[in-house]
Amino acid sequence: MNRGIRVGSRKSRLAVIQTEELVAYIRRQCLGLEPEIVTIETTGDKRLDVTLDKIGGKGLFVKEIDKALLAGEIDLAVHSLKDMPMEESEVIPIVSFSRREDARDVLVLKEGIKEWNGKGIIGCSSFRRRIQAEKIYPQAKFRTIRGNVLTRLEKLESGKYDALILAAAGLRRLGLENRVYRYFSPEEILPAAGQGILAVQGKAGKDYSFLDGFGMYETAMIAKAERAFVRCLNGGCSSPVAAYAEVNGDTLSLRGLYYREKDYFFTVGSKSGFVHEAEQLGTSLAQELDEKYGSEI
């Protein structure tokens, strides 16, 4: 008899599509396991009237799912890593990371629009994106936008915005790559830590060896470096602190965005080292940038 395994997910179409990646792997590779998706509405999905920093930050996209996992209502949970708090729970840790999808941010225009002069209103959900994009589009106005990807696209088409900045990974997973007007390189807009990566969360002490073929060591090291950088600088949902890492052989290269709140100054630093030292690399780069720029006026 097959053993059922319940996989928790947010209710949005994108979240379910992402969770289906894990479910498909389990069905294909794990004989004896029969996975099902359990959708859970989070506070972050319900409260679209205010910015995240006003109602508790990134944890609002995972809190209800965490509770379900702790209560035994689900056996695993799938999250976009960029939506998870930087402090990992010892009780319900991340047990696997997916292959990284395209981590870049992109510009999306209204359907049918082929060119744009850089003026008008850009819908932008994060301060991180805004401060970097302002240098690219100095004549544009930036307005906060909330909601899942499809909701934001609906708001764009309604005329409330002239363009949106979104994550390439989400559009690709939704099959909406054709909506991309422009890709921003990490040198133009540094992505959020963990952007494009799926994290699988489980319970401490449980055997998750059946996920060995789903998880990727390289992605895990990238995630550790990026999250260590942001964690060291106390970066949260309202902070523009960002990080992006790449692996080439035994070398991991990390770029990190440092922000100084007192005078709105930001800069990007970089550092390379051995892949297995990913977490130390992230912490070291954060400390170096803080020592160099933290006390300057």
Q: How far apart are CA 82 and CA 67, in angstroms?
A: 19
Q: Report yes or no: 240 and 257 within 8 Å, Cβ to Cβ.
A: yes
Q: Where are the beta strands (DSSP E) in the chain?
A: 3-10, 33-40, 76-80, 94-97, 105-109, 120-123, 140-143, 163-167, 180-184, 198-201, 242-248, 251-260, 265-274
* Residue 83: active-site member: yes
In degrees rounded to 5, what are phi and psi of residue 188? -85, -50
Q: Report yes or no: 155 and 161 within 8 Å, Cβ to Cβ.
A: yes
Which of these, 38, 36, 35, lies nearest to 10 by C-alpha position?
A: 38
Q: How far apart are CA 46 and CA 148, in angstroms?
A: 11
Helix, strand, coil % in the chain, rounded to nearest 5: 35, 25, 40
Q: How far apart are CA 273 and CA 127, in angstroms?
A: 29
Which two three-digit tokens encode residue 202? 């489980």
Q: Which residue has the tokens 């999306």?
A: 108
Question: Which residue in 45, 75, 83, 102 is the catalytic one?
Answer: 83
Q: Which residue has the tokens 């979240």?
A: 15
Which of these, 275, 272, 274, lies nearest to 256 by C-alpha position?
A: 272
In degrees rounded to 5, what are phi and psi of residue 108? -120, 135
Active-site positions read 83
